[in-house]
Amino acid sequence: MTSTNQHLTNRPRRLRRTASLRRMVRENQLTVNDLIYPVFVTEGENQQEEISSMPGIYRYSLDLLLKEIADAANLGINAIALFPLISNDKKDNAGTESYNPDGLVQRAVKAIKQEIPEITVITDVALDPFSTYGHDGIVEDGTILNDETVEVLVKQAVSQAAAGADIVAPSDMMDGRVGAIRQGLDAAGYFDVGILAYSAKYASAYYGPFRDALESAPQFGDKKTYQMNSANSREAIKEVALDIAEGADMVMVKPALAYLDIIRRIKEYTNLPVAAYNVSGEYAMVKAAAQQGWIDEKQVVLETLTSMKRAGADLILTYFAKQVALMLQ
Ligand code: PBG
């Protein structure tokens, strides 16, 4: 076959020809430093319960959680995000167990900081694991009270800081909570405890498996009066601007994969580190397809997380953290 294009000036394929050329012009690189590993803690000893909608992810009792976190630290993972399964008898409307100084989260944080001091501990600030209604705030006549909830969130955040949390991460989406938490932490002397704000958190069907893990599905209605409408993009900038003004150290977009455009917009808007949460439903979809043999799990995971970096994420919360840390070794 004779070539008709001998003199084609631009041939982008020149830079894709060999593996070394491709490595040299690679624009984005996923590293273990980007990963935050979300973990689930439950009461008891020697407990390890797999979450059926999240194959490979377990709720661990504290003794086994410490082993899991030590493993993660040995793989080079810098940070964990801690979420508790709270028994029904400890739940109430105001989530009072959330600021119990001897609560599960507080005990877990103390133990983790004692045993594995090098790992950064990020705690979740929200009422849903502690709420009889499975909502992120106090319920009255079917609505979620904002300012009353924020008062509880401040107590929760301060109690987590007292236990030794490095960073508190409000995931509740109440208005004004970042500023109130900052003031509360400062007043209690925790100037150095940071805030990772779930700023652009959408009302998403991708959270289903997480709610299985924590038995925290809303008992009525949905979370659309506080979490964002997935159709909105400018509103994400508004939320981020407020959280920065109120004292956030880092901002987050959640979920990640269906919101890569939001990650990009926020990255262009702020100089703060931007985190993306590769949520439970995103994890479950990949695992389910891989179990069927329909996709190559490893390649899909790397491609997906790299797309989040490319969109602008500096940090990625992902249940794949340990798996990816191993792949990157
Ligand atoms: C609730 C919270 C949720 C997640 C993290 N914190 C669920 C929700 O808002 O209902 C979801 C995480 C995931 O799906 O992996 N404060």
Q: What is the pLDDT of residues 243-301, one digit of tens each?
A: 999 999 999 999 999 999 999 999 999 999 999 999 999 999 999 999 999 999 999 99
How many angstroms separate the alpha carbon of residue 277 from the centre of ligand 1?
10
Which residue has the CA at smallest separation from atom 5 of ligand 1? Answer: 171
State which CATH number among 3.20.20.70, 3.40.225.10, 3.40.50.10150, 3.40.50.720 fits the domain covering 28-328: 3.20.20.70
Which residue has the CA at smallest separation from atom 16 of ligand 1? Answer: 171
> Which band of pLDDT confidence, cut at 50, 70 and 90, is reported for residue 5?
low
How many angstroms separate the alpha carbon of residue 326 from the centre of ligand 1?
26
> Which band of pLDDT confidence, cut at 50, 70 and 90, is reported for residue 6?
confident
| Residue 258 token pair | 């269906």
- Catalytic residue annotation: 201, 254
How close are the terminal C-alpha atoms of the chain, in Å?
A: 45
Q: What is the pLDDT of residues 35-75, one digit of tens each?
A: 999 999 999 999 999 999 999 999 999 999 999 999 999 99
- Mean pLDDT score of the chain, rounded to an integer? 97
> Which band of pLDDT confidence, cut at 50, 70 and 90, is reported for residue 81?
very high
Is the CB of 213 inside a 6 Å radius of any atom of ligand 1? no
Confidence (pLDDT) at 177: 98
Residues 6+ apart with CB under 8 A from 160: 105, 106, 109, 123, 125, 168
How many angstroms separate the alpha carbon of residue 244 from the centre of ligand 1?
21
Domain ranges of the chain: 28-328
Residues 59, 57: Cα–Cα separation, whole Å: 7
Q: What is the pTM of this model?
A: 0.97
Is the CB of 68 inside a 6 Å radius of any atom of ligand 1? no
How would you class 101 by CB atoms within 10 Å of its CB: exposed for 0-12, middle for 13-18, buried for 19 or more? exposed
Q: What is the pLDDT of residues 115-151, one digit of tens each?
A: 999 999 999 999 999 999 999 999 999 999 999 999 9
Confidence (pLDDT) at 129: 97
Is the CB of 280 inside a 6 Å radius of any atom of ligand 1? yes
Residues 6+ apart with CB under 8 A from 276: 252, 253, 254, 256, 259, 263, 308, 311, 313, 315, 316, 317
